[in-house]
Amino acid sequence: MTLAITPGTTTSVPAVVGADLRVPLVTGERVTYANLDHAASAPCLQEVRDAVDELLPWYASVHRGAGFASQVSTRVYEQARDRVRRFVGAHSSDAVVFTRNTTDSLNLLARSVPKNTAVVLFDSEHHAALLPWRGPNVQRVPAPSSSGAAVVALDRALAAAPVGPRLVIVTGASNVTGELWPVAELAKVARRHGARIALDAAQLAPHRPINARELGVDYIAFSGHKIYAPFGAGVLVGRADWLQQAQPYLVGGGATSKVTDHGDRLGVAWSAVPERHEAGSPNVVGVHALAAACEILSRHWEQTVAHEQELLTRLQNGLRTIPGFRELAILADADKVGVVSFTISGFDAGFLAAALSAEYGIGVRDGAFCAHVIVGRLVKQAGSHEERAVRASVGLGTTAEHVDRLIAALRTLVTEGPKWTYTQRDGRWVPQDDNRTLPPFLA
């Protein structure tokens, strides 16, 4: 097993692919890429790449194949369910349905809830959790100012919800602020009102261990690309009854146990869960990568959390020295994973992101982070007329030098201005006369 020692810290963490990636600057130099955009997509772990390479010679069709390679691929795919189930501490009876990503998983759940289910969620959710729920029985609760206020607000919302099936949607860690939500306390409230609770763990799963039984949640959704397995797989884990009673999310091969011809119509007997919602050829490579990442992270939680917390402290302390810096926050009393979103007075977020990339080789995110409602509100509270912010996020591919470079670069941009000239094109800031060349495989 390959381990990397992060400069500036004594914590050993799993190594990532591309740690030595060098990118061009508009000024003509090349520098090691400073990846401060883990919250969007995390790089691939070296051990995950090794696991994929090990599988590829055996890659074949999954399910119903008589060939030996097909049997191997099927075994890999089905064993991944148990590996993921252990990663989230789910019940042995819980379904594990493989999807494309968190968005796909939550849309599947939304299609599977019983008719007239009352759905309650906070309006600070990521679009993946906010948008799939439609209709008169959906109650969007304004984002609370503290963890305690969240518990009280949910209690009131569920007390007013219609009688019948009920479902609460909650994030584990905010995509915008990195704040950890009081999931266990919210689950207790949900249970008291006879509601189920679904956890959007997309931003939580890479940073903290999850135990569904201890948290008291009924469903968990997360993505491989967030947990260092960027091969196109996601997962929904949870109670099987609603999923079993629902019509298949997609229809086609694999979702059917038998199709018969009745002349003017086809008779269809749908498969049981989980195959019921996994129509088409499964992404066995992506699923294997996701399961491998789950096991790797599970072996390194102590190192991972220590590494990220050290970098988060360094990042926050440095950013607070930048003139005009304002950090976005929802919950006043919450701990955080390694995500900091901010504005800098007088500077457009898109311009800052473009200049950080072009002049310093730093990758950050700018915009509303697929959470337009809450970002628009928080940015206004920070005194900006824009509806966008900058987000810096750390992970296993981040080093102390990356953080220090970001702080120094922002200080220079704010106090001295950019070295280059920038213009807007199609709504985005870009450097003029940008002669940076793309890698050869894109030529």
Q: What's the CA gap between 34 and 359, in Å, rounded?
A: 12
Strand locations in 333-372 (E): 339-344, 362-363, 365-367
How high is the pLDDT of residue 11?
Answer: 54
Q: What's the CA gap between 262 and 175, in Å, rounded?
A: 50
CB atoms within 10 A of CB 251: 13
Q: What's the CA gap between 62 and 120, in Å, rounded?
A: 38
In the chain, ranges of CATH 3.40.640.10 domains: 48-299
How high is the pLDDT of residue 382?
Answer: 83
In the chain, ranges of CATH 3.90.1150.10 domains: 3-44+301-442
Question: Which fold is adopted by the domain 3-44+301-442?
Answer: Aspartate Aminotransferase, domain 1 (3.90.1150)
Residue 359 region by backbone torsions, left for phi larger than 0, else alpha for psi between -120 and 50, else beta: alpha
Architecture of domain 48-299: 3-Layer(aba) Sandwich (3.40)
Residues 6+ apart with CB under 8 A from 242: 109, 112, 113, 114
Active-site positions read 370
Q: What is the pLDDT along the chain (443 residues), one digit of tens a residue?
A: 233 434 444 458 999 999 999 999 999 999 999 999 999 999 999 999 999 999 999 999 999 889 999 999 999 999 999 999 999 999 999 999 999 999 999 999 999 999 999 999 999 999 999 999 988 999 999 999 999 999 999 999 999 999 999 999 999 999 999 999 999 999 999 999 999 999 999 999 999 999 999 999 999 999 999 999 999 999 999 999 999 999 998 999 999 999 999 999 999 999 999 999 999 999 999 999 999 999 999 999 999 999 999 999 999 999 999 999 999 999 989 999 999 999 999 999 999 999 999 999 999 999 999 999 999 999 998 887 788 999 999 999 999 999 999 999 999 999 999 999 999 999 999 999 999 999 999 97
**Tokens standing for 189?**
């409230």
The position carrying tokens 């860690």 is: 173
Written as one string, the DSSP assignment of 211-271 is -HHHHT-SEEEEEGGGTT--SS-EEEEE-HHHHHHSPPSS-STTSEEEEEE-SSSEEEEEP
